[in-house]
Amino acid sequence: MKFSRSIFSHWRFIRPSGRNIFTHHSFGQTPQKDFSSYLNADNPISALLLTLRGGIPLRAHDFPSVLAACSSFPNLGRQVHTLMLKAAIHSQPVPATALLDMYSKCGHVEDALLIFDEMPVRDAVAWNALISCLVRHGLTSDAIAAFHSMVDDGIVFTGHTLCAVLKACASMRALRQGKQIHSWVVGNGYSSVVMGTALIDFYSSFGMIQDAMEVFTRLNCPKDVVVYNALVGGCIQNRQYKEAFTMLRNMRPNGITLTSALSACSELLNLSYGKQIHCVMIRRGFGSDVILCNALMDLYAKCGEITAAHLVFKLITEKNVVSWTCIIDAYGSHGHGTEALKLFRMMEERKCRDVTPNAVTFLAVLTACAHSGLVDEGRLCFFSMRDKYDIDPGPEHYACFIDLLGRAGRIEEAWDLYCGLSESANKLTPAVCVAMLNACRISMDLVKGEHVAKHLLYLDSDNPGSYVLVSNFYAAVGRWEGAEDLRKQMRGKGLKKEVGSSQIAVKGCS
DNA sequence: GTAGGGTTAG
């Protein structure tokens, strides 16, 4: 790919650090040496595994780092808890706080709270860990209550406390209280880059991007990539794309920055910036990153660059269900149904864990069949959802399949499906009715069509689009008086069909 | 031992 001028050309090549905690995982002949080297090399999981296999016991001060490494492995974490009980150090503030945090990060809130309850002495860090745990799990009012209890207990709160409370304020939509924290932070010299990030995130969540920018500008300490990302993300969430791209030009991005940048490109359908971000991804060693590649692939496909989308797909080393769904949808929505089906079969053949097709994948496959008129393939796929994958087809799958049958003139088969749905009211959605009505229009079936039309107008009586569709149906089958009557009903209700619109970036970013 | 950034497919 050639780019005349890159907006991101000065971004330097830096490989992301991706140290794997299992990298040094091999049990040598000298466990004692391995044990301490694992701990020294910050590879606590391997040290823990040696301990659990009857090796050297962990020392009291080893527990916090081992627990921190267990935050994605709850079963290991529980085993560490048992070791702590045996060593009678489970109630000491430092290891107990680490234990609380481990349970919190593993999603075991009840266990985390139990640890806190059983702590005989609770210092500020223990309280902070508790408040963070409550905020993390959406228990915001409990978090605020805990903050008050902490103060009541005479514990002096810290910057950590205020960051967690600020997050709670954002999710409770407590703007005034959050602003109070801001004033307090400024007045008492609690500013830091972390606090600044929390404040930027807080103001962004209220759409107050100017205030977020002011926090950033006034930040009187070295700015790191996280605080930049918070502001870039805030700008994008608040649709301030120009500001976001200006910031992007003046920073050194990491994977998270690029994720935000790609989401902005997708929102704007801006392929030019997308291609430049693609170059940066390659230069910075993110060329195979599954999340970034999926987003990029989708952008290429949305912009009609199907070959580029496929190239990106091929480069993903660990393709997930989203990657496969994306590429199937890319081909399918551009009328390449056979290619989409070929990819779907390749996906099925993989039979790997995590790459099993899901409901979204099936929708992509059905859409692909519908766009290319592949009736038999579509039918096979529709029925394999339940038979082979135990996925209950949703109304969107029915709508798509009925549409496919309707276009092929298979009105009776479509009707049978439609009638079968009448028993489950939640599946007979306006979209299903629209698909069935179209099928009736194509087959000029007045009786069935009138039945469907009636139901559509019952379900979607305030949607002008439904009246237009029904009116078009009557016109198509030659019932002009019916068509005119519908238009009159629509006018009588004061409904007006909105004019369709679409947009694509031609120059610049907005 | 506790705090800050994003999450991709319809």
Q: Is the dihedral of CA A189, A195, A197, A198 positive or negative?
A: negative
Report residues 294-353 of A contacting strand B, contact meaning Cβ closer than 7 Å.
294-295, 298, 320-323, 325-326, 329
CA of residue A93 relative to chain centroid, distance = 36
Residue A126 Cβ < 7 Å to strand B: yes
Question: What's the Å distance between residue A131 CA and nucleotide B3 C1'?
Answer: 10
> CA A107 to CA A100: how far, in whole Å?
11
A294: nt with nearest C1' to CA? B8
- Say how many domains are in chain A: 4
Structure tokens at A159: 């910057």
Amino acid A26: pLDDT? 42
- Are A308 and A366 members of one domain? no
* A507 CB-contact burial (10 Å; exposed 0-12 / middle 13-18 / buried 19+): exposed
Q: Among A348, A378, A408, give the residue marking a domain's end.
A: A378
DSSP at A92: S
- Are A277 and A327 members of one domain? no
> CA A272 to CA A264: how far, in whole Å?
12
Residue A62 Cβ < 7 Å to strand B: no
> CA A405 to CA A394: how far, in whole Å?
17
A322: nt with nearest C1' to CA? B9
Residue A94 Cβ < 7 Å to strand B: yes
Q: Among A213, A229, A252, give the residue marking a domain's end.
A: A252
- Are A413 and A476 members of one domain? yes
Q: Which of A318, A324, A312 is nearest to A290 (CA)?
A: A318
**pLDDT band at residue A13 under the 50/70/90 scheme:** very low
Question: What's the Å distance between residue A259 CA and nucleotide B7 C1'?
Answer: 8
Taking each helix axis from N to C end, the angle separating A124-136 and A159-171, rounded to the nearest 10 degrees, works out to 20
Structure tokens at A85: 């009980």
Amino acid A15: pLDDT? 35
DSSP at A389: H
Percent of chain A residues topping a pLDDT of 70: 90
Q: Tell me what the mean pLDDT of segment A404-428 comes to.
A: 92
Q: Which domain holds residue A234?
A: 191-252
- Are A490 and A410 members of one domain? yes
pLDDT digits (tens, 9 = 90+) for A378-392: 999 999 999 999 999
Q: Among A287, A318, A349, give the residue marking a domain's end.
A: A318
Residue A430 Cβ < 7 Å to strand B: no
Which residue matches tokens 């996280």?
A226
Residue A403 Cβ < 7 Å to strand B: no
Q: How far is CA A18 from CA A23, A44, A49, A117, A293, in A?
A: 10, 16, 22, 37, 17
Cβ neighbours for A237, distance < 8 A, ≥ 6 positions apart: A204
- Are A476 and A418 members of one domain? yes
Which residue matches tokens 């949703």?
A394
Question: What's the Å distance between residue A294 CA and nucleotide B9 C1'?
Answer: 8
> Does residue A105 sit within a domain?
no
Question: What's the Å distance between residue A241 CA and nucleotide B3 C1'?
Answer: 29
Question: What's the Å distance between residue A406 CA and nucleotide B7 C1'?
Answer: 37
Question: What's the Å distance between residue A192 CA and nucleotide B5 C1'?
Answer: 15
> Does residue A88 sit within a domain?
no
Question: What's the Å distance between residue A326 CA and nucleotide B5 C1'?
Answer: 26
Asked if residue A27 has pLDDT above 70, the reply is: no
> CA A248 to CA A270: how far, in whole Å?
15
Residue A128 Cβ < 7 Å to strand B: yes
Q: Tell me what the mean pLDDT of segment A402-407 comes to.
A: 97
CATH of the domain at A434: 1.25.40
Residue A285 Cβ < 7 Å to strand B: no
Strand B positions closer than 7 A to protein CB = 1-10
- Are A325 and A313 members of one domain? no
Collapsed DSSP state (helix, strand, coil) of residue A233: helix
pLDDT digits (tens, 9 = 90+) for A148-189: 999 999 999 999 999 999 999 999 999 999 999 999 999 999
The alpha carbon torsion through A309, A310, A316, A322 (nearest 10 deg) reads 70
Helix ranges, A188-250 (H): 193-205, 209-218, 225-237, 241-249
> Does residue A219 sit within a domain?
yes
Look up the protein residue whose alpha carbon has the minimum distance to the C1' of B7: A291
> Does residue A24 sit within a domain?
no
Question: What's the Å distance between residue A254 CA and nucleotide B1 C1'?
Answer: 28
Q: Which of A132, A106, A128, A127 is nearest to A117 (CA)?
A: A127
Amino acid A453: pLDDT? 96
Q: Tell me what the mean pLDDT of segment A270-290 comes to.
A: 95
A133: nt with nearest C1' to CA? B2
For chain A, the average pLDDT equals 89
Look up the protein residue whose alpha carbon has the minimum distance to the C1' of B6: A256
> Does residue A123 sit within a domain?
no
Asked if residue A264 has pLDDT above 70, the reply is: yes
Residue A259 Cβ < 7 Å to strand B: yes
- Are A323 and A312 members of one domain? no
Which DSSP string do the residues of A255-266 spell out, in sequence order?
HHHHHHHHHHHH
Please give the residue that has the higher pLDDT: either A15 or A453: A453
Question: What's the Å distance between residue A322 CA and nucleotide B8 C1'?
Answer: 7
Residue A197 Cβ < 7 Å to strand B: yes
- Are A203 and A290 members of one domain? no
Q: Which of A444, A451, A489, A447 is nearest to A467 (CA)?
A: A489
> Does residue A47 sit within a domain?
no
> Does residue A185 sit within a domain?
no
Structure tokens at A250: 């003046």
Asked if residue A226 has pLDDT above 70, the reply is: yes
- Are A414 and A482 members of one domain? yes
> CA A333 to CA A57: how far, in whole Å?
59
The residue type at A346: M
> CA A506 to CA A35: how far, in whole Å?
60
The residue type at A278: H
Least confident of A127-141, A344-358, A484-498: A484-498
What is the maximal distance between C-alpha atoms in chain A? Answer: 92
* A23 CB-contact burial (10 Å; exposed 0-12 / middle 13-18 / buried 19+): exposed
> Does residue A59 sit within a domain?
no
The residue type at A224: D
- Are A294 and A350 members of one domain? no
> CA A249 to CA A354: how far, in whole Å?
36
pLDDT digits (tens, 9 = 90+) for A161-171: 999 999 999 99
Q: Is the dihedral of CA A341, A347, A350, A353 positive or negative?
A: negative
Residue A195 Cβ < 7 Å to strand B: yes
Question: What's the Å distance between residue A300 CA and nucleotide B9 C1'?
Answer: 13
Which DSSP string do the residues of A237-259 spell out, in sequence order?
HTT-HHHHHHHHHTS---HHHHH
* A286 CB-contact burial (10 Å; exposed 0-12 / middle 13-18 / buried 19+): buried
Amino acid A499: pLDDT? 58
- Are A442 and A417 members of one domain? yes
- Are A413 and A489 members of one domain? yes
> CA A210 to CA A179: how far, in whole Å?
14
> CA A368 to CA A329: how far, in whole Å?
7
> CA A72 to CA A362: how far, in whole Å?
31
Report the b/e string of A133-172 with b at 16+ CB within 10 A.
bbbbbebbebbbebbeebeeeebebeebbbbbbbbbbbee
